[in-house]
């Protein structure tokens, strides 16, 4: 049984002889240029949309960083002296959760 011919196995038809100048070759060139122009316009639009998404995300990140910088105590300050960060007092015990863990093995 024969194998089906894949598109990759067919070499492209490349001619070293330039096409003759004719009305048909002009239309072919116009078509090829129009297709390439449309492809490049679509690619440019996609890049612009991605650029806008990136700029929006960067603005959100900058706002979050600014907010966190305002709420974060200065280096060297203890969390007990800063009431704006509740729950970070090192002398206070955590919410009753045990820090010891039981381990067990699973056999397959």
pLDDT tens, 8-19? 666 666 667 777
CA angle 36, 39, 40 (to 5 degrees): 85
HSE, side-chain direction, 13 A CA sphere, residue 63: 6
What does pTM read for this prediction? 0.46
Distance from the Cα of residue 91 to its chain's centroid: 43
The pLDDT tens digits of the residues spanning 50-104 come to 999 999 999 999 999 999 999 888 777 655 555 555 555 555 455 555 567 777 7
């Amino acid at each position: 049984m024969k194998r089906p011919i894949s598109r990759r196995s067919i070499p492209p038809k490349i001619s070293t002889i330039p096409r003759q100048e004719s009305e048909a070759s002009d239309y072919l060139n116009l078509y090829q240029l129009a297709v390439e122009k449309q492809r490049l316009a679509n690619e440019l639009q996609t890049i612009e949309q991605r650029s806008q998404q990136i700029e929006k995300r960067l603005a959100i990140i900058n706002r979050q960083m600014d907010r966190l910088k305002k709420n974060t105590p200065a280096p060297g300050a203890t969390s007990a002296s800063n009431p704006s960060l509740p729950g970070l007092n090192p002398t206070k015990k955590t919410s009753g959760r045990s820090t010891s863990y039981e381990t067990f093995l699973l056999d397959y």
